Amino acid sequence: MGTALTTEVLDSRSSLPEIAELGQQLRVDGIRASTAAGSGHPTSSMSAADLMAVLMTRYLRYDWSDPDDPGNDCLIFSKGHASPLLYAMFKAAGVVTERELLEDYRRAGSRLQGHPTPVLPWVPAATGSLGQGVGIGVGMALGWRWSEHSGRHMWILCGDGEFTEGSVWEALSMAARLGLAHVTVIIDVNRMGQRGPTTLEWDTAGYAQRAEAVGCHAIVIDGHALPEIDEALRSASSSLKPTVIVARTHKGRGFHEVEDKEGWHGKALPAEMAERAIEELGGIRGLTVQGPAPEPRDDVREVKRGGDSLEGREPVRPTFPIDKPAAPRLGFGKGLAALGVNPKVVVLDAEVGNSTYTEEFAKQHPERYVECYIAEQQMLATAVGLAADGYRPFAATFAAFLTRAYDFIRMAAVSNVDLALAGTHCGVEIGPDGPSQMGLEDLAMMRAVHGSTVLYPADATSAAALTITMAGLPGISYLRATRGAYPILYDADEDFPVGGSKTLRETEHDPVTLLGAGVTVHECLKAAQMLAHDGISARVLDLYSVKPIDVAALIRAATDSEVLVAVEDHHPEGGLGEAVLSALAAEGVPVRRFGHLAVRIMPDSREPAEELEAAGLSAEHIVAAAGRLLAGSGAEARAEAERG
């Protein structure tokens, strides 16, 4: 595929004609990689090649040999499908070999995946789900303020198509509101989307007007005119506002057979066509780049992930009077406040802090409390950015409203960040606010996240303890915090290991085991008392750890009891009941009789106790279910005979 023309080294003093050659090299290498793989997005890479050539040569201050250097700028490809361009840049920087680019891209086990992930040390977060990169970049840039990394700059490359995503505008609005002048977003306005023209096509003024409307500085340029690119990047480097560079480009730039043509999105060029493209682009080059280095810093390098999350500062667990009911959500808030001793803990709110009790943290540590307002997607994106920069973020809102940010949550798992989430006001238990406010899908949602931990405490004491535990958990952890105040079940020094459970009531012979979590634990305790009055002993398990679940306790219950009844304030799909059955099935343990009480109706507005009754979750319904199952198993008759 062509012949090598040069092996020159480019640096910040290189001329624009020399940098133009780098742009052609990036195009050629993107074509070579995708054609060799048989898939990829070469045309989406070719449109932004000139922009990235100028950026990496003159403005991206980065020590490629040391991606953890705290003075490094950051580059995020929000248009992650342009990975051929990004990996071609890594090759030009000397950190990816030509062999790896041509033989490993998009292959099994390769770190050069179809869309970038942090398996590559120069990639801070996974992208490819469009509309997320700007928000993540804003989160990282915010964290730099607290780390005194004021000299760093955040560069984000976006596609024009993703600017129809509302999350992009949430992010830009937040960047402007917080005055993050060290954030620059480059829009590759190549006009072509996946199935045809984008919404605004080449209306660069339209993009600029929208950016300025949310408080950013906008610069419109020809994305293939290197002097204009150079001046725009120079201006952005010293701007007093976040900058949006609106660059008019051509998809497939440099190869006339595909340039600005429909039908070439996400398609590798066939081998013969790739040969013609490389020839038209001037052949294969061997340029390398040594761009500007980060400014030397005297501060101690920070650990990005892992290690002692509390940095030697132990939080003091809050206590709650045993004789005074308290809400689990209050336990969450008090636990957060206790975690404030850890300077890496940051709390994010979606304008419900007085309901989720994140305000308990804000009162003591306002400098590490981020009000994201009613923008749940940006709250999650900010949290991911902060986590990628080594912070330990806690993000909280009503459980129902986390559903709109689920794409950000699942992508956070792809990014392999450590992130704690909390959803309050879960289930029908919240009462009169009605179904729009009731989180009834969140357990299923969070259990499905790769590597997640899902916790559902029944009282304020366990909620506070588990909140503190979350500060040291890897991956995505989720705490489901009930709204209402309930009796305190546990002593202040009780331990709640992840993967454990609590047996609140049992005898030597329990024909029934009642399985609950959160609010239903209290209903199960009432039901057990009612069953005892009828001479039926019932064990009660508090399955506060939904994922991982206490398999040993479940096996013992399935072995000892003829009837298991799982009770959850959640839809039946994907919640506690299915977690129980899945765990037992995986162990090959049969369940003789299983009852599953869950929310199978569309709730309305009524008092919490009425909601639980209407949904079939009250103690009376639990007793009735246990009775039916016992009668069917013959255990009830045997129990009656024993009593006689």
What are the tens digits of pLDDT across the range 235-266? Answer: 999 999 999 999 999 999 999 999 999 999 99
* Tokens read off for 644: 């006689």
21 given a catalytic annotation: no
Given a cut of 90, whether residue 3 has pLDDT beyond it is no
Given a cut of 50, whether residue 642 has pLDDT beyond it is no
**pLDDT at residue 304, rounded to an integer:** 45
Report the amino acid identity of residue 471. A
- Reduce the DSSP state of residue 219 to 3 states and report it: strand
Confidence of residue 146 (pLDDT cuts 50, 70, 90): confident
Q: What percent of the chain has pLDDT over 70?
A: 94
**pLDDT at residue 307, rounded to an integer:** 41
Kindly tell me the sign of the dihedral angle through the C-alpha atoms of 456, 461, 467, 472: negative
**pLDDT at residue 151, rounded to an integer:** 86
Given a cut of 70, whether residue 636 has pLDDT beyond it is no
Given a cut of 70, whether residue 306 has pLDDT beyond it is no
For residues 515-522, average pLDDT: 98
Q: Are 113 and 83 in contact (CB under 8 A)?
A: yes
- The whole-chain average pLDDT of the chain stands at 94
* Tokens read off for 252: 């497939």
Q: Are 356 and 488 in contact (CB under 8 A)?
A: no
For residues 288-305, average pLDDT: 71
For residues 59-82, average pLDDT: 97
> Count of alpha carbons within 13 Å of 246, Cβ hemisphere only?
21
Confidence of residue 296 (pLDDT cuts 50, 70, 90): confident
Q: To 10 degrees, the CA torsion angle through 121, 127, 132, 138?
A: 10
Given a cut of 70, whether residue 6 has pLDDT beyond it is no
For residues 83-96, average pLDDT: 98
> Count of alpha carbons within 13 Å of 106, Cβ hemisphere only?
19
Least confident window among 116-120, 309-313, 317-321: 309-313
Residue 623: CB partners within 8 Å, gap ≥ 6? 527, 530, 531
Report the amino acid identity of residue 593. R
For residues 154-173, average pLDDT: 97
- pTM assigned to the model: 0.94
For residues 38-58, average pLDDT: 98
pLDDT tens string 421-473: 999 999 999 999 999 999 999 999 999 999 999 999 999 999 999 999 999 99
Beta bridge partners of 9: 288
For residues 517-540, average pLDDT: 98
**pLDDT at residue 295, rounded to an integer:** 84
Given a cut of 60, whether residue 302 has pLDDT beyond it is no
Given a cut of 70, whether residue 628 has pLDDT beyond it is yes
For Cα atoms 395, 337, 341, give the angle at the middle one, nearest 5 degrees. Answer: 105
**pLDDT at residue 164, rounded to an integer:** 96
Distance CA 92, CA 53 (A): 10
> Given 165, 228, 376, 429, which residue is catalytic?
376
**pLDDT at residue 604, rounded to an integer:** 96
**pLDDT at residue 633, rounded to an integer:** 73
**pLDDT at residue 147, rounded to an integer:** 76
